[in-house]
Chain A
Amino acid sequence: MEKKKNLFALMTDKKHRGRTVSFGIVILGWAILEIMLFSGSLSSLFSSLLVPVCCYIVAAIGLNLNVGISGELNLGQACFMSVGAFTAVCLSGSLAGAIPAPLPRLLLSIVAGALLAALFGVLIGIPVLKLEGDYLAIVTLAFGQIIKSLITNMYLGFDDAGFHFSFVDNKVELKQGGKMLLNGPMGATGTERISTFTMGIVLIVIALIVVYHLMYSRSGRAIMAARDNRIAAESIGVEIFRTKMLAFTVSSCLAGAAGALYGLNYSTLVPAKFDFNTSILLLVYVVLGGLGNMTGTIIATIVLVLLPELLRSMQDYRMLIYAIVLILIMLLTNNETVRTWGERMKKQLKSRLKNRRNA
């Protein structure tokens, strides 16, 4: 069927429209921002936001696969970012001598961060996905706290004699010229900043390709079937655990890649950054953007990261206003009157367009 359609038709038909829109937004946004960066018309504030926004988008897309597509409330997405970030920071720090060029080192660190996060995804997924509903949510929260607490207690350094590791009590003593990669609660310091905006865009595109591919594949349909009616899906032979595991692992992997990019964007990184609040923030992006709606996730992330920055002129009141905006958006998007009004407007617009075309 699809083979007969031309490319344009394929991009705009109902099934693929969402996909086209998200890729379009990402590419267009990238082009505009690159031009602005190149011509120097982008303010310092916005250029400093480029990489972190990309990171949050990638992690939120992963979370949306988890929450929106697979129907699992995950309150610990930040811990996978943490695993990715600290893996990447350590790897990049220890390879600085061996691979001086930033780009290959960045790529390698991101791949390593993503893979290790995926491994954690599998390990954590095994117990987590046996549970359901809010119990699953609390276990992801618990794992988030455990991972944060473990990383807070890790000490890793290297010098001429090789790597030194200790846990809980810092027994790492380095010779002159050695470098601490992980310093317990102080995290990583003196990281070389090698993340780039372009790499962020590449990660978003990869995340979208992976997630859309998964959504429209056989496994994706199985995942959604399992979300909508577990028992019915099971009865027709869908392996619930396997499909959910797949979604969970991909989600953690994306978070790991996002974390890696994030970690290498700052010269310092503390384990406390990836706490419960960051997980919640990612969840807010996903819910506000719409469950299962990747374009929505991208836009919601951008808007919500920018909102507090744009409210800076409000001084002390900005976080208060941020909270009120958040509540109002949730109330309005779920309000029947607002909805029916919008529905009517949409119908009118459609019929007007149709009339014009007919005339």
Chain B
Amino acid sequence: MDFLSYLINGLGLGSVYAIIALGYTMVYGIAKMLNFAHGDVIMVGAYVAFFSISDLGMPLIPSVLLSVAVCTVLGVVIERLAYKPLRSASALSVLITAIGVSYFLQNAAQLLWSSSTKVFPSVISNGGISWNGLTVSWLTLITIGVCILVMICLVLFINHTKTGRAMRACSEDKDASTLMGINVNLMISITFAIGSGLAAIASVLLCAAYPSVFPTLGAMPGIKAFTAAVFGGIGSIPGAFLGGLLLGVIEIFAKAYISTQLSDAIVFAVLILVLLIKPTGLLGKRIREKV
């Protein structure tokens, strides 16, 4: 029973990682950049949701929508101002800019909203389903449910809409896509918008489970989700989903069965092992090099 309960907790945590990782992986797939500011978009989303629920007294769903809207706009603005001018620059320049944006968001948040922790109001009632001594909280169920829903919507969108196809085309070959009449810049902006919107959803789920809101909130989930995205094969959407879930489960199991002190080391050791066996992650595509 312990095993099952740890597994479900792990899936809950992993679902949050997975949603964040989806944002990472989509941006990587199309813009070929590691968006280290992604974690800080989560932080902004958490603050927006916090203020709309606590201060404005808005109900949960409109708050989430507001948070999604703010983050989407923020994502597009960051992309336009900071990343678009660097489209032809080296990947490292973009990486450093992303780090700059991350510093900027953290420090701006501290100036605007102070450095003291705010506690996210409890939005989902306690309790849950009990079965044979195993209790699964509503929160965990909702988190896993939202994650699966997001995943399905995303796959449908990418595979079965015109925009989705255009996005895939861009990630395959930008020049060819331009020749086919696809507005590559627009596609990249849309990707950022979707990724940042997902970050907002993740932020609410994250804060519902772990109700602390502070300016560096996004840093750790950001790194973990980045790890999850690489785990599953960066650029691959099902990979990010799988990677996120696995990362959550491994983290909880490592804590439960090996050592709470070393859980971090264990998570990263598993990642290294996976990459040594499958160098492009679990579901990553092997890019064949041409001479």
Contacts and interface: CB of A to CB of B under 8 A. Distances in A.
Q: Do chains A and B touch in the complex (CB under 8 A)?
A: yes
Interface of A: 67, 73, 127, 130-132, 134-135, 137-139, 141-143, 145-146, 149-150, 152-153, 168, 230-232, 235, 276, 280, 283-284, 287-288, 291, 316-317, 319-320, 322-324, 326-327, 330-331, 333-335
Contacts of A231: 289, 291
B103 A323 contact: yes
B116 to A, nearest CB: 14
A135 B100 contact: no
A334 B226 CA distance: 26
Q: Which 4 A-B residue pairings sit nearest by Cβ, starting from the closest?
A: A323-B103, A142-B268, A326-B100, A323-B104
A327 B227 CA distance: 25
Contacts of B281: 135
Given A135-B281, A149-B265, A142 B93 contact: no
A168 B260 CA distance: 10
A134 B279 contact: no
Interface string B256-267: 000101101100
B97 A327 contact: yes
B73 interface: no
A323 B100 contact: yes
A330 B268 contact: no
Residue of A141, A146, A280 most packed against chain B (CB within 10 A): A146
Interface of B: 28, 34, 36, 82, 85-86, 88-90, 92-93, 95-97, 99-101, 103-104, 107-108, 110-111, 223, 226-227, 230, 234, 259, 261-262, 264-265, 268-269, 271-272, 275-276, 279-281, 289, 291
Contact of A145 (B110, B259, B264, B291): B264
Nearest to B28: A134
Contacts of B279: 130-132, 135
B209 to A, nearest CB: 23
B12 to A, nearest CB: 23
Q: Is the interface of A mostly helix, strand, loop or mixed?
A: helix
A138 B230 contact: yes
Contact of B103 (A73, A168, A326): A326
B81 to A, nearest CB: 9
A330 B271 contact: no
Nearest to A147: B265
A47 B176 CA distance: 56
Contacts of B108: 320
A320 B107 CA distance: 5
Contacts of A317: 111
A230 B289 CA distance: 10
A139 B101 contact: no
Nearest to B284: A135
A291 B92 CA distance: 9
Contacts of A326: 96-97, 99-100, 103
21 contacts: A67-B92, A130-B276, A130-B279, A131-B279, A134-B28, A134-B230, A139-B271, A139-B272, A139-B275, A142-B272, A145-B264, A146-B269, A168-B262, A284-B99, A288-B96, A291-B90, A327-B100, A331-B82, A331-B97, A334-B93, A335-B85
B193 to A, nearest CB: 21
Given A150-B265, A319-B107, A138 B82 contact: no
Contact of A142 (B28, B262, B271): B271
Contacts of B275: 131, 135, 138-139
Given A319-B107, A320-B104, A330-B100, A135 B262 contact: no
Nearest to A132: B279
Contacts of B230: 134-135, 138
A280 B99 contact: yes
A334 B289 contact: no
Contact of A127 (B86, B110, B223, B276): B276
Given A168-B261, A320-B111, A276 B86 contact: no
A327 B86 CA distance: 11
A138 B234 CA distance: 11
